[in-house]
Structure 1
């Protein structure tokens, strides 16, 4: 299993930070590995909402259909996608800061199943690089005024 976890402090309110993160179509704004992302179900975003996310990795574009499996506004959202032997689960938690603003914790897990599990060590290394780039973009985007 590959995992990348980061916590980012932002001037955004808990509600604004949560709403931005729960709308996973925003992933193309902060994750450079995401070629495009769009919501493919009806509004509003909630449990059962789905997002088509196309990721470029190792020179290939791979579509993933993420589904919101948990939506506890404004605290926690969980998104899950499965594609062949790959399972991706992203958990976002948002907490208020005593000085104002909020802290967003992004916890991404990528698992391989079946014979592909032999590639887990390589996937772990690759995922760390992808995660660091996504974290940098997320820090930039969460620092913007969204009012």
Structure 2
């Protein structure tokens, strides 16, 4: 299993950040590996149990995972994606920052199944680089989302 954890601060209030990140389709905007991410039920409200079909590219290969929102709380979101070769968990926890922004801890865990498990030690550095890229891209994606006129939560 590979685990990556990063902490970052976003310049938007906690409720707004949680609403934005709860819609996993937004991973196209902030996750460098995501090629596409579509809800399985277009137009349905985002709630615990919502699912998305995600296509990611990693080391030149595309893979598809079905992600499900398994935890949606005021200060925490957890998504679990699965396919035949891997289970991926994206866990996000939030706390209000003193300046009105949001401090976020992002934990990504991937567990490979079957023969793919043998590649785990060789892929750790690649996933660390992806974690660094998320920290670089996520703040700008959140900023652009709200600059484009998205309505704040509440």
Q: TM-score normalized by structure 1?
A: 0.90
Instruction: Structure 1: state its 5+ residue gaps.
Output: none
Partner residue of 2:52? 51
Partner residue of 2:85? 85
Instruction: Structure 2: state its 5+ residue gaps.
Output: none
Please state if 1:8 is matched with 2:8.
Answer: yes
Q: How much has 1:51 moved relative to structure 2?
A: 1.0
Q: How much has 1:145 moved relative to structure 2?
A: 6.6
Taking only aligned residues, the RMSD between alpha carbons, in angstroms, comes to 1.6
Q: Distance in 2 between matches of 1:85 and 1:65?
A: 12
Contact 1:12 1:145 in 2 (8 A): no
Q: Distance in 2 between matches of 1:98 and 1:132?
A: 24
Q: Distance in 2 between matches of 1:66 and 1:30?
A: 16
Q: Distance in 2 between matches of 1:7 and 1:142?
A: 15
Using the TM superposition, name which of 45-54 and 119-128 deviates more.
119-128
Q: Distance in 1 between matches of 2:31 and 2:18?
A: 17
Q: TM-score normalized by structure 2?
A: 0.87
Q: Distance in 2 between matches of 1:25 and 1:57?
A: 18
Please state if 1:94 is matched with 2:91.
Answer: no
Q: Distance in 2 between matches of 1:6 and 1:144?
A: 21
The alignment covers a number of residue pairs equal to 146
Residue deviations 1:90-141 (CA, integer Å, cap 9, x gap): 0011111122111121111011133332211112122112221222111322
Q: Distance in 2 between matches of 1:145 and 1:55?
A: 21
Partner residue of 1:68? 69
